[in-house]
Structure 1
Amino acid sequence: MTSEIRLSQGGHSTHGLKPNCLSFSEVLAQSFAVIAPTTIPASNLGLIVALAGNGTWLSFLLGLIGLMLVSFNINQFASRSASPGSLYTYIVKGLGPTAGVICGWSLVLAYLFTGMSVLCGFANFSSAIFAHLGLYPSSITLLAIGAAIAWYAAYRDIQLSAMAMLWLEGLSILLILILGIIIWANNGFAVDLRQLTLQGVTPGSIAMGLVLVMFGFSGFESATSLGDEAKNPLRTIPKAVLGSALMAGLFFIFTSYIEILGFHSAGIDITKAEEPLTLLSQQAGVGFLGDLVALGALCSFFACVLGSINPAARIFFTMARHGLFHASIGRAHSANRTPHVAVSICSFLMFLVPAIMMLFNIKLFESMGYLGAICSYGFLTVYILISIAAPVYLKKIKQLQPHHLVVSLFAIGFMMIPVIGSVGIPGSTWFPVPEAPYSIFPYLFLLYLSATCGWFVWQRMRSPHILRTMERGMAIIQETHHLR
């Protein structure tokens, strides 16, 4: 056995991380925390409605179908091996090191920008709460507080992180479901024909809405980064990946339909509302419940920041152990058994970018939308790559069946819908080119990939042993799986 791997008494590879400590509910909490279902109905829904209009529920439905197909492809790997490297290690196994590096850098951007976006939401909601108390701290101060508390929880203990995320998100979801039923009842359980008949909706608006819907679902696969720390990872992780996507999707469809119905009935534009549930709760005569939901949303934003740090740090950690970063990033804390250096880097970056945007007078609510759209391209790239890698991997191990190819093709097809919607087709009325700044985000992402992959090519030319290190790391993961 190489020195890169250490075994616990039970023979479980830990890479220095805390082994066998997370139950299924705690693993599920990791995926749910990054999805942060509460944040969409409580704050971000107006951003999606601005793009998809009355077809918002359909964008969520298509997103759910597409990601269920993607989850089946992810689970072809997750049911056979586990590591802290998440989808990065899966794609290396299926498509090789170069595709793996594209995936790794895409995931790093995706998780970091998800964390940045929801950190803006945390600061935005915190500012409103402090204002009620007559306090007006600066946005940068609130960003620093959120990032610092999340850093401490991720640095200190993965179980502390998981339990915090589980309770914070669970309570918030329950409150929103109760409020949603009250709002619907207040409207006589009416049927909104404008939504069901897709009034004023075009295929392009559905496709563009899917970009931010991907942000809404993003992170459902993040449980795969807990391969060392989960109990029975080959069972619990696949269940968490599939279950989190399904439950979040049904929650999104229900809450988006109810909220848009409520705003239609009130004659108010939801795209201008930064706290839509607070407004609807006041109209329904249960303003206190709206205040509780706002507090729950604040907790959910924080849980998502924490949930984004965990997988981002573990991907950095694994890539460093493969020689792609400085070796110190691939070290685990001797007492806490967490990737403490990687956690610190990710936490700082999540604070730095939104803070710089504040200095350029970009509002927190706008920053949420911009950062959320950009992170979606990272997730879309990874979901397409994993859907290509799954059948290739199954063919390598001689377990490929025709239905695996069908699932892969449909998953890729569904993921291409938001890709086309985000770029647009010049002159097309169905898929028009999005308005600025959303129109430039895909190209900024491609520039980012070109730079990071170019750096990998330069590293590989300068140090050819990197490929051997990556291959050895994959062999260790496979060997560890057999030891289990």
Structure 2
Amino acid sequence: MSAVIKPATTLRGSSLGFIETIGQSLANISPTFTPALNVVAVAALAGQGSWLVYGVASFALLFVGLNIAALAGRFAAAGSFFVFISRSLGPLSGGLAGFGLVAAYIGTAMAVLAGEAIFVQNALTPLGLTVHSYIIYVVTIALVGYLSYRDIKLSSRISVAIEIISVAIISIVLVIALVKHHQLIVDTTQLTLHGVTTKGFAEAIVLGIFSFVGFESAATLGKESKNPLKTIPMAILSSMIFAGIFFMFVAYAMVIAFGGDASKLGNDSAPLDTLLHVVGQSELVVFIYVIASMSAFACVLASLNAASRLLFSMGRYQFVHRSMGMVHANHQTPHVAILISSVIALIVPLSMLSEGPLNTFGITGTFATFGFIFAYFLISLAAPIYLHKNKALKARNIVFGSLGGIFMVGAFFGSVYPVPSYPYNVLPYLFVAYLGIGVAWLYMLKIRAPQVLIKMGQDLESQESEVFGRK
């Protein structure tokens, strides 16, 4: 008699190596997105100080990364921040961080989906072709949802391959531009921050942080990575440092490519097109935007992979509907969480079609950034507290936690004062209202189903065996 095959109840363990793990973080960062779109918004606000915006953002997030690495190097979890913060600050704080990150990852998918539409349209325009944004949205989400549902290893490898190719091509084009404008390589206007205002610089910091968000998403693969206690911290820190160096180079080089005119860069809706004309390679416009479209696709894929793993973990602890914690019998992927994430990521951009892809990108991307800032702030508190509880706290952990928290508070403050224009002036308050709904839900859960929190606390304690003796 043949053996009965039991359906899978957990994610496919130890299936991802370092390449796939760092691919998750790199794809979520989507380095190509900065020269293709984000640097324009930063230059419009910070002008000649754009390179420093990325420098400050990378410096601030380095401390956040060190805090994440301190926890990711001690135990592995599919829920990443949700579990990390729950162990340090309690289940309610962990649940709230989970809600914040769900908004962050799905919001990033929405924003990059809009960016995908911009890139595809820029690629087709020289060919005399047009395609409606809603078609791009639907096709992209359908493909991304299928790949995420089918195999995390396949989707991660596709993502890292796309990013390596696109970053290499854009770097070569920028180097050619620098050679063409060699007299501006030592650009005193940029180095002295000529004409940069405090208001513009502060507002640009939030956009600068958005370029990096998702660098921590490798932590959501804690149950699926090989040797996660070493692989994940290395992937998180390596991807963040690489992105910081690349973004500073991009901002500095692109201003030079635009003849040292940062305001011209800040008003260019197709900067890669202009860049190729500068280096005399205008015939590559279609190709370069196809590459940018592929990078955006990889970022949407990575964002939904991260969101679904987070919802999976929250579903397992019943912080959201338990169906989110279900695993596909054959593919061992959280198929219900993937479906829900994909549907939400599609509905919002479709409802904002009248706003256009560029406004959709800005609005959803800014909202998503608040989710990351909130989670980064909590992880900066959680890391030293967890280490203290486990008698592993060192002075440097206090410094990393304090600086990470201070920088995140500063980034949020910079988003509300000086007051930005509408609708960006209301987005911070909408995010606070969203968290308020999360607080109400969690307290209702505490009253109506206290066993959920008790079970979670006991389960987290029982999983301390997964902490591999790091000191």
TM-score computed with the length of structure 1 as normaliser: 0.92
Could you tell me which residue of structure 2 aligns to residue 377 of structure 1? 370
Q: Verify: 1:453 aligned to 2:439, yes or no.
A: yes
Deviations 1:332-366 (A, max 9, x none): 101001000000110111111000000xx101011
Give the 3-state SS of the residue equivalent to 2:456 in structure 1.
Answer: helix
Q: Do residues 258 (structure 1) and 253 (structure 2) align?
A: yes
- Kindly report which structure 2 residues correspond to 1:284-323, keeping only aligned pairs within 5 A, or say none: 284-323=279-318
Structure 2 equivalent of residue 465 of structure 1: 451
Deviation for aligned residue 1:197: 0.8
* Farther-moved stretch of structure 1 (94-103 vs 131-140): 131-140
Whether contact under 8 Å (1:16, 1:334) holds in the other structure is no
Tell me, in whole angstroms, the C-alpha distance in 1 between the residues paired with 2:31 and 2:55. Answer: 15
CA distance in structure 2 between the partners assigned to 1:33 and 1:337 by the alignment = 22
1:15 Cα offset (Å): 5.7
Q: Structure 1: which 5+ runs fail to align?
A: 1-6, 8-13, 425-431
Matched, 1:281 2:267: no
1:351 partner amino acid: L
Taking the aligned partners of 1:263 and 1:133, their CA distance within structure 2 comes to 25
Q: Which residue number corresponds to residue 86 of structure 1?
A: 80
Q: How does 1:10-409 map to 2 (within 5 A)?
A: 16-188=10-182, 190=184, 191-265=186-260, 269-358=264-353, 361-409=354-402
Q: 1:474 aligns with which of 421, 438, 460?
A: 460
Return 46-55 or 94-103, whichever deviates more: 46-55
User: CA separation in 1, counterparts of 2:469 and 2:154?
Assistant: 28
Deviations 1:53-99 (A, max 9, x none): 22111111111111111111111110000011011110001111111
Separation of aligned partners in 2, 1:15 and 1:439: 44
Of the structure 1 ranges 441-450 and 119-128, higher mean CA displacement relative to structure 2 is found in 119-128
Give the letter aligned to residue 309 of structure 1: L
Q: Which residue is 1:433 aligned to?
A: 419
Q: Describe the SS at the equivalent of 1:269.
A: helix
Give RMSD over aligned pairs. Answer: 1.9
CA contact (8 A) 1:28 1:241 kept: yes
Query: Matched residues in 2 for 1:132 and 1:332: separation?
Result: 44
Deviates more, 1:116-125 or 1:128-137: 128-137
> What secondary structure, in the 3-state scheme, does the structure 2 residue paired with 1:310 have?
helix
Find the residue that maps to 2:355 and give its secondary structure: coil
**Whole-angstrom distance in 2 between the partners of 1:343 and 1:267:** 40
Closer/same/farther in 2, CA of residues 90 and 267 from structure 1, 3 Å limit: closer
Tell me by how many angstroms 1:24 deviates: 0.4
Moved more, 196-205 or 378-387: 196-205
Cα 1:221/1:266, change in 2 over 3 Å = closer
CA distance 1:410–1:268, shift in 2 (3 Å):
closer
Give the CA deviation at 1:476: 4.6
Question: Shift of the alpha carbon at 1:482?
Answer: 5.2
Report the CA distance shift for 1:168/1:464 in structure 2 as closer, same or farther (over 3 A): same
Contact 1:70–1:411 (Cα < 8 Å) also in 2? yes
Structure-2 change in CA distance of 1:483 and 1:249 (3 Å)? closer
How many Å apart are 1:134 and its aligned residue? 3.9
Relative distance call for 1:180 and 1:325 in structure 2 (3 A) is: same
Change (3 A) 1:247 1:241: same
Number of matched pairs: 464
Partner of 1:429: none
Q: Map 1:410-425 to 2 at 5 A.
A: 410-424=403-417
Q: CA deviation at 1:274?
A: 2.2
Conservation of the 8 A alpha-carbon contact between 1:33 and 1:303: yes
- Please report how far the alpha carbon of residue 260 of structure 1 lies from its aligned counterpart in structure 2 after TM superposition: 1.4
Instruction: Name stretches of at least 5 consecutive residues in structure 2 with no aligned partner.
Output: 1-5
Alpha-carbon distance, 1:417 to partner: 2.4
Distance across 1 between alignment mates of 2:9 and 2:192: 53
- Structure 1 residues 390 and 267 mapped into 2: Cα distance closer, same or farther (>3 Å)? closer
Give the letter for the 2:381 counterpart.
Answer: I
Encode CA deviations 1:160-183: one digit per residue, 9 max, x unaligned: 111110111110000011011001
Q: Per the alignment, do residues 482 and 250 of structure 1 end up closer, same or farther by CA in structure 2, a change over 3 Å counting?
A: closer
Q: Conserved in 2, the CA contact under 8 Å of 1:123 and 1:146?
A: no
